[in-house]
């Protein structure tokens, strides 16, 4: 269809460019999250993720050494600020060029590096760009060095520290397992139930079939908010309460309309000849379903499983209502939305990492099974 | 018992129970209730075949009825009672909603969402579908634009926090502003009215891929003769797109539109994680969650309002489905 007429070149370029622009626009936010999750926490707050490959100017503090040599009536302390363990801790990958320094926390970059400043009472301090300093004081410093604040360039640093912390210290490991525990039964159980119903709606003749199909289409759009209060109350009455058992039932039910609808559409499209032939050969409906229709519907089953998996993995609403809100049963979405965003609102490194941990599995599923997903989407909405 | 184990056992019981139920119920029907032998063999087979569909359908109907049909009635009844489930208050909950300011904000915002998100997603999706169809690397582009579909609303909100953050060293928007010479970073989440659109962009970002995939398939299904004829008649590419292609895929566009509309009315996650409903960004689903666990009467009343908003879409869907079946 592209080559029907001779209109190409300029329009083709515009197409390439605009699609490229759109793709970039769509990707940039995700890339930002990904890059941020590997950055050092101090660096995140100092420079944007788009500057990650470049050095960052960090403000740090340290103390000079205290061993002084006496020259006449002044005591001289020399050394490198990077020998101080406190200052060093700001630069795990080694410090770079010192840009400015100061002696007061309110103005840590008061003086340019390399200048000698008067601190009063005859004291002077020099801090050079390479981190070496000279402190001259008329009194013996004793065992206490001079406080130095300074700004230095820190080389770009990428760590997996955020991941280590998220996966070990923040209960995210627990949440990850909980998510998995919710997702797998909630994906598998609806399939078989829906498949039988879909077969009946597609290939069995009985009064009321049309109404039932219409009802399924109608139920597709019932907002599940309606179900929250009555079903939670029912769960409490029959003793399930807020538990994994409850959320499995809930997800099974909420996925059912889509499952029945999708599978029925697919099964109804199977060639009539095969099914009639098998009927003539004496196959019962049960055999027909198990041996012919079910194997032929595998693509639709796969499509629904992917949908249901993504939907249950990513769900926040159902998990908030049907699972208890203690740490032992929180799933990742609830953990991120309620805990991390609340208590660690400013810790961007941890937030980015937690988010990336939670979207990694769906992304893998998505990219490896995209073919089935697209086919399922099309079976559901295009005739 | 570790939950994982409990999960495994549930899978086994669930799947095994299903297979067992379907197998045994069929067996009992064929062997004992209406056996295909004896004097009434013909009548028995007919009767068994009349019952069988309902055996196949029963578990699905039971689950759907319990979790989706009963709650419509259950929620409505509960919404007639106050915070205490024993005090009947009639339509007071609804009256309270319509009297108060927050509900009006949530309702109007939600209407904004319903107008903006489906139209923006469908439009961008349509344009991308049309553009990528002509490119050699179109499939890669599609795959990347489709990707946000796999990301949870919570994850997406976090991703976009790195765009909107009130800090020129974290948020892209403020970085661009700083680059353009503006001094102070702004919190886009606190700009009255427009903050709603910044939230909607997140959902558009997620849903455009869905629209694109379906519309791209529809575009490919257009008979080539119609396009060839248009080209021969001297139509330019824009005329071909808007006057030949779009009218032919209009039914699919409507399907995409309604699907996204219904989704918009379910999503509370984005508002919940981004603003918590503050700064005038409340929408109905998030407003309902404010009352969940606190005042079931009010929560169910809001849920029922959402149901009423969805009803037209539901009727339209059913009508379309019935048209197709005929």
Same-domain pairing of A215 and A343: yes
Answer yes or no: is A1 within a domain: no
Terminal C-alpha separation, chain B = 53
| pLDDT for the residue numbered A205 | 85
Chain B nearest CA to A112, separation (Å)? 24
Is residue A4 one of the residues assigned to a domain?
Answer: no
Contact A256 B163 (CB under 8 A): no
Query: Residue A359 above 50 pLDDT?
Result: yes
Flag if A378 and B252 touch (Cβ within 8 Å).
no
- Same-domain status, A63 and A175: no
Say which of B75, B236, B321 has its CB closest to residue A230: B75
- Domain assignment present for A373: yes
- What pLDDT is recorded for position A145? 78
pLDDT surpassing 90 at residue A312: yes
Q: Token pair 């939600």 is at which residue?
A: B110
**DSSP assignment letter at B64:** H
Predicted TM-score (pTM) of this structure:
0.85
**A353 contacts on B by Cβ (under 8 Å):** none
Mean pLDDT of A135-152: 80
- Structural domains in chain A (count): 3
**Assigned domain for A3 exists:** no
- Report yes or no: A204 at the B interface, CB cutoff 8 Å: yes
ipTM value for the complex? 0.88
pLDDT for position B1: 57
> Which of B128, B151, B262 lies at the smallest CB-CB distance from A22?
B128
Q: Are residues A224 and A341 in the same domain?
A: yes
Instruction: Please report the domains of chain B, with CATH numbers, ordered by start residue.
Output: 3-79 (no CATH), 98-325 (1.10.3720.10)
C-beta atoms surrounding A327 within 10 Å: 12
pLDDT digits 0-9 by tens, A216-265: 988 988 888 899 999 998 999 988 888 888 898 899 999 999 899 889 88
Residue A223 forms part of a structural domain = yes
Q: Show which of residues 46-85 on chain A sit within 8 Å of chain B, judged by CB atoms.
A: 46-50
At residue A77, φ and ψ (nearest 5 deg) are: -115, 125
Q: Identify the pLDDT of residue A137.
A: 82
- Whether residues A133 and A204 fall in one domain: no
Asked if B64 lies within 8 A of A249 by C-beta distance, the reply is no
Q: pLDDT-based confidence at A2, cuts 50/70/90? A: very low
pLDDT digits (tens, 9 = 90+) for B87-118: 888 888 888 888 877 888 899 999 999 999 99
Of B56, B289, B310, the CB nearest to A200: B56
Residues A222 and A125 in one domain: no
Q: Do B288 and A225 touch (CB under 8 A)?
A: yes
Residues A313 and A338 in one domain: yes
Measured between alpha carbons, how far is A331 from B107 in angstroms, rounded to an integer?
30
* Residue with more model confidence, B71 or A121: B71
Nearest-by-CA chain B residue for A341? B273
Does residue A325 share a domain with residue A259?
yes
Nearest CB neighbour to B217, from listed A226, A321, A382: A382
Instruction: Please tell me the predicted confidence (pLDDT) of residue A197.
Output: 92
d(CA B218, CA B196): 32
Domain with A124 in it: 56-154
Q: What is the DSSP letter of B265?
A: T
**3-state SS class at B16:** helix
In a domain, A2, yes or no: no
Task: With cut-offs at 50, 70 and 90, classify the pLDDT of residue A381.
Answer: low
Interface A-B, measured as beta-carbon pairs within 8 A, has a size of 335
The CATH code of the domain that includes A264 is 1.10.3720.10
Last residue of a domain, one of A154, A182, A213: A154
Residue A199: closest C-alpha in chain B = B56
| Residue in B with minimal Cα distance to A207 | B50
Per-residue HEC secondary structure of chain A comes to CCCCCCCCHHHHHHHHHHHHHHHHHHHHHHHHHHHHHCECHHHHHHCCHHHCCCCEEEEEEEECCCCCEEECCEEEEEEEHHHCHHHHCCCCCCCCCEEEEECCCCCCCCEECCCEEEEECCEEEEECCCCEEEEEECCCCCCCCCEEEEEEEECCCECCHHHHHHHHCCCHHHHHHHHHHHHHHHHHHHHHHHHHHHHHHHHCCCCCHHHHHHHHHHHCCCCCHHHHHHHHHHHHHHCCCCCHHHHHHHHHHHHHHHHHHHHHHHHHCCCHHHHHHHHHCCCCHHHHHHHHHHHHCHHHHHHHHHHHHHHHHHCCHHHHHHCCCCHHHCCHHHHHHHHHHHHCCCCHHHHHHHHHHHHHHHHHHHHHHHHHHHHHHHHHHCC
Q: Identify the pLDDT of residue B208.
A: 93
Average pLDDT over residues A319-331: 87
Same domain flag for A44 and A91? no
> Does some domain include residue A209?
yes
Q: Does A240 share its domain with A332? A: yes
Residue contact A192–B18, C-beta within 8 A: yes
- Nearest Cα of chain B lies from the Cα of A102 at a distance, in angstroms, of 24
What is residue A33's predicted lDDT score, i.e. its pLDDT? Answer: 87
Window 93-132 of A, Cβ < 8 Å to B? none
CA distances from A184 to A193, A374, B297 (A): 16, 21, 33
Given a cut of 50, the residues of chain B with pLDDT beneath it are none
Encode pLDDT of A274-285 as tens digits.
888 988 888 888
Lowest mean pLDDT among A185-199, A342-356, B62-76: A342-356
pLDDT value at position B45? 79
Vertex A23 angle, CA A17 and A29, to 5°: 135
User: Residue written as tokens 């370029």?
Assistant: A13
Distance from CA of B75 to the nearest CA of A (A): 6
Q: In this structure, is residue A181 part of a structural domain? A: yes
Are both A33 and A75 inside the same structural domain?
Answer: no
- Note whether A368 and A268 are same-domain residues: yes
* Domain closes at, from A154, A188, A204: A154
A91 vs B: CB within 8 A: no
A376, pLDDT greater than 80: no
Is the pLDDT reported for residue A54 higher than 50? yes
> Residue A39: which pLDDT band, with cuts at 50, 70 and 90?
confident
Q: Do A381 and B256 touch (CB under 8 A)?
A: yes
CB contact under 8 A, B324 and A193: no
| Among the partner residues A194, A199, A244, nearest to B3 by beta-carbon distance | A244
Query: In which band, very low, low, confident or very high, does the pLDDT at A382 lie, cut at 50, 70 and 90?
Result: very low
Q: How far is A326 from chain B (nearest CA, A)?
A: 14
- Reply yes or no on whether the pLDDT at A107 is more than 60: yes
Q: What residue in B sits closest to A3 (Cα-Cα)?
A: B134
Same-domain check for residues A180 and A298: yes
pLDDT at A72: 77
Domain-terminating residue out of A128, A154, A180: A154
Instruction: Output the pLDDT for position A383.
Output: 40
Nearest to B153 among A11, A224, A316 (CB): A316
């Amino acid at each position: 269809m592209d080559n029907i007429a001779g209109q190409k070149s300029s329009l083709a370029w515009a197409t390439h460019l605009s699609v490229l622009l759109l793709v970039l626009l769509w990707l940039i936010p995700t890339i930002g999250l990904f890059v941020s999750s590997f950055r050092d926490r101090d660096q995140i707050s100092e420079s944007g993720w788009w500057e990650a490959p470049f050095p960052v100017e960090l403000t740090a503090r340290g103390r000079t050494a205290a061993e002084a040599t006496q020259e006449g009536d002044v005591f001289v302390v020399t050394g490198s600020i990077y020998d101080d363990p406190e200052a060093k801790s700001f630069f795990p990958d080694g410090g770079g060029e010192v840009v400015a320094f100061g002696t007061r926390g309110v103005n840590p970059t008061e003086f340019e590096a390399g200048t000698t400043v008067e601190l009063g009472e005859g004291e002077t301090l020099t801090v050079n760009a390479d981190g070496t300093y000279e402190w001259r004081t008329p009194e013996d410093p004793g065992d206490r060095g001079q406080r130095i604040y300074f700004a230095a360039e820190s080389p770009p640093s990428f760590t997996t520290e955020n991941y280590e912390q998220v996966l070990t210290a923040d209960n995210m490991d627990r949440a990850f397992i909980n998510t998995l525990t919710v997702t797998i039964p909630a994906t598998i159980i609806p399939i078989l139930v829906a498949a039988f119903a879909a077969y009946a709606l597609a290939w069995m003749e009985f009064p009321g079939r049309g109404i039932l199909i219409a009802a399924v289409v109608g139920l597709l759009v019932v907002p599940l908010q309606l179900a929250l209060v009555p079903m939670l109350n029912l769960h409490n009455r029959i003793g399930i309460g807020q538990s994994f058992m409850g959320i499995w039932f809930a997800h099974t039910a909420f996925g059912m309309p889509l499952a029945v609808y999708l599978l029925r559409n697919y099964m109804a499209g199977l060639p009539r000849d095969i099914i009639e032939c098998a009927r003539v050969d004496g196959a019962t409906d049960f055999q027909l379903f198990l041996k012919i229709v079910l194997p032929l519907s595998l693509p639709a089953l796969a499509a629904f499983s992917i949908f249901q998996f993504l939907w249950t993995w990513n769900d926040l609403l159902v998990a908030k209502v049907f699972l208890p809100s203690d740490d032992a049963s929180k799933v990742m979405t609830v953990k991120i939305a309620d805990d991390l965003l609340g208590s660690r609102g400013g810790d961007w490194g941890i937030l980015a990492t937690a988010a990336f941990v939670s979207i990694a599995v769906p992304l893998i599923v998505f990219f490896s099974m995209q073919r089935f997903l697209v086919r399922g989407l099309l079976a559901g909405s295009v005739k | 018992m570790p939950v994982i184990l409990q999960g495994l056992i549930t899978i086994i019981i669930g799947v095994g129970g299903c297979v067992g139920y379907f197998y045994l119920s069929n067996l009992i029907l064929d062997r004992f209730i209406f056996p295909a032998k004896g004097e009434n063999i013909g009548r028995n087979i007919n009767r068994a075949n009349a019952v069988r569909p309902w055996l196949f359908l029963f578990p699905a109907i039971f689950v759907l009825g319990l979790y989706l049909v009963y709650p419509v009635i259950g929620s409505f009844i509960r919404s007639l009672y106050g915070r205490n489930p024993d005090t009947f208050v009639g339509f007071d909950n609804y009256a309270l909603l319509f009297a108060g300011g927050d509900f009006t904000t949530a309702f109007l915002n939600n209407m904004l969402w319903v107008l903006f998100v489906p139209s923006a997603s469908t439009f961008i999706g349509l344009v991308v579908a049309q553009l990528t169809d002509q490119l050699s690397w179109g499939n890669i582009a599609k795959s990347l634009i489709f990707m946000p579909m796999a990301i949870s609303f919570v994850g997406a909100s976090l991703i976009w926090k790195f765009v909107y953050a009130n800090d020129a060293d974290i948020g892209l928007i403020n970085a661009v502003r700083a680059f353009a010479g503006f001094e102070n970073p702004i919190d886009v989440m606190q700009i009255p009215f427009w903050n709603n659109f910044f939230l909607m962009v997140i959902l558009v970002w997620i849903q455009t891929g869905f629209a694109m995939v379906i519309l791209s398939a529809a575009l490919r299904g257009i008979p080539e003769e119609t396009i060839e004829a248009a080209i021969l008649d001297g139509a330019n590419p824009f005329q071909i797109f808007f006057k030949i292609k779009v009218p032919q895929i209009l039914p699919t566009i409507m399907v995409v539109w309604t699907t996204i509309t219904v989704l918009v009315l379910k999503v509370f996650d984005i508002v919940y994680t981004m603003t918590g409903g503050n700064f005038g960004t409340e929408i109905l689903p998030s407003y309902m969650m404010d009352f969940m666990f606190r005042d079931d009467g009010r929560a169910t009343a809001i849920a029922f309002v959402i149901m009423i908003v969805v009803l037209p879409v539901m009727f339209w869907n059913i009508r379309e489905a019935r048209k197709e079946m005929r």
